[in-house]
């Protein structure tokens, strides 16, 4: 008696089957949510989730002075943290246009809620700073980049430290003070502002001074005049023994750098919120063409390509606006631009692949930007 055995029916491997089902489910979801993608709906429900563009939610807004406010922000799951003294690029939508600016992080690292804070001073005519200080409310979503910057303290801390600040220049220093005061160190803070009421973090700084944690020297320009090198030497007699960090308006920083170099005082760590402009006196400038948008802008030799373009209504990528974050970089297809910080000329021909920072570059003749 013979027995016939039927060959077994071939089975499909489990993993390819699951992958096919997953792909089909994704396609169905995309069809159901068109014109949006499923990820867009996830962003609405969970905007701070991992794996998407980094965002943050404003948890609170606290007024520091008449024109400055601290925003506590809960960053998304992919936030990598920061070192005290660093800054973060923040993107906000103002009148339908995404604008980017950079702000120093002022919060303690050990916050239990994982939030960070930035302290913003509204600048006259400042689109973003005015929006953040006067119009932003808790619950607002902002876009974030990861923290960066080299205006930080070394480890271990210097035995004697000096901070020289003016105006909003106190913000990165406050981030350092809040995180390092538990460590033994001799700290002097010299701060300049128009009046006592204009001192950002004034109450906190004065409380630190009263407790002996720091020595605070306040100078108020409306009554005391502007800080200069001779006065600083008088205020801090052991200046030469201190490691120094400075942040504030360009004239003050330029003065301090010159004094440190002339007196041979060693390294002065400087953080600039604006970039200085070198006036070449050569009457440069020219027509800046933006090939993709078909726009042409007449710009003088003292105005950055970024500012000239925005004044003409061209939407431009930007960030710190001072040549640090590289958020404004665009290809220079042809022509010449001059670096506003040092006067250096950059020339490009078609195919050269030259990239320029539009926030610190001015036209040096006709030029074509790939944007």
Rg of the chain, C-alpha, whole Å: 27
Number of domains in the chain: 4
Q: What are the residue ranges in the chain where pLDDT is below 50? A: 1, 281
**Structural domain contains residue 280:** no
pLDDT score recorded for residue 321: 83
Q: Which domain holds residue 335?
A: 285-369
Largest CA-CA distance found in the chain, in angstroms, rounded: 118
Q: What is the CATH number of the domain that holds 133?
A: 2.40.30.10
pLDDT score recorded for residue 281: 46
Count the helices and strands in the chain (H runs, E runs). Answer: 9, 17
pLDDT score recorded for residue 324: 79
What confidence tens digit (pLDDT) does each residue in 58-91 have? 999 999 999 999 999 999 999 999 999 999 999 9
Among 145, 45, 47, residue whose Cα is nearest residue 91: 145
- Backbone dihedral angles phi then psi of residue 7, each to the nearest 5 degrees: -65, 140
Query: Do 236 and 187 reside in the same domain of the chain?
Result: yes
If you average pLDDT over every residue of the chain, what do you get?
A: 87
**Structural domain contains residue 19:** no
Q: Which of 116, 144, 172 is the last residue of a domain?
A: 144
Q: What is the pTM of this model?
A: 0.75
DSSP track, 326-362: -TTEEEEEEEEEEETTT--EEEE-TTS-EEEETTSEE
**Structural domain contains residue 324:** yes
**Structural domain contains residue 2:** no
């Amino acid at each position: 008696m013979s027995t016939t055995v039927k060959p077994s029916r071939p089975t499909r491997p489990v993993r390819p089957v699951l992958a096919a089902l997953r792909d089909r489910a994704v396609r169905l979801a995309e069809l159901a949510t068109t014109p949006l993608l499923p990820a867009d709906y996830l962003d609405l429900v969970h905007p701070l989730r991992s794996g998407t563009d980094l965002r943050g939610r404003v948890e609170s807004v606290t007024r520091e002075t008449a024109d400055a406010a601290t925003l506590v922000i809960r960053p998304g799951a992919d936030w990598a943290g920061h070192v005290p003294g660093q800054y973060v690029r923040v993107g906000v939508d103002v009148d339908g246009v995404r604008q980017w600016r950079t702000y120093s992080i002022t919060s303690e690292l050990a916050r239990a809620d994982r939030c960070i804070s930035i302290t913003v001073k509204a600048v006259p005519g400042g689109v973003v700073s005015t929006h953040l200080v006067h119009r932003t409310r808790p619950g607002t979503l902002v876009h974030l980049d990861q923290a960066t910057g080299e205006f930080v303290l070394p480890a271990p801390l210097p035995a004697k430290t000096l901070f020289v600040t003016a105006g909003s220049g106190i913000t990165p220093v406050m981030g350092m003070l809040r995180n390092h005061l538990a460590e033994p160190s001799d700290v002097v803070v010299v701060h300049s502002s128009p009046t006592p009421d204009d001192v950002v973090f004034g109450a906190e700084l004065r409380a630190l001074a009263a407790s002996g944690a720091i020595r605070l020297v306040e100078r108020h320009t409306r009554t005391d005049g502007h800080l200069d090198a001779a006065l600083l030497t008088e205020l801090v007699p052991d200046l030469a023994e201190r490691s120094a960090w400075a942040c504030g308006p360009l004239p003050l920083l330029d003065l301090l750098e010159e004094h440190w170099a002339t007196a041979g005082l060693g390294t002065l760590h400087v953080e600039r919120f604006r970039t200085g402009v070198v006036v070449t006196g050569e009457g440069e400038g020219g027509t800046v063409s933006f090939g993709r948008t078909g726009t042409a802008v007449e710009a003088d030799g003292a105005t950055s390509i970024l500012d000239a373009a925005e004044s003409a209504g061209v939407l431009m990528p930007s960030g710190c606006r001072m040549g640090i974050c590289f958020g404004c970089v665009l290809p220079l297809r042809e022509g010449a631009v001059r670096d506003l910080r040092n006067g250096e000329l950059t020339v490009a021909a078609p195919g050269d692949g030259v990239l320029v920072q539009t926030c610190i570059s001015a036209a040096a003749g006709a030029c074509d930007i790939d944007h």
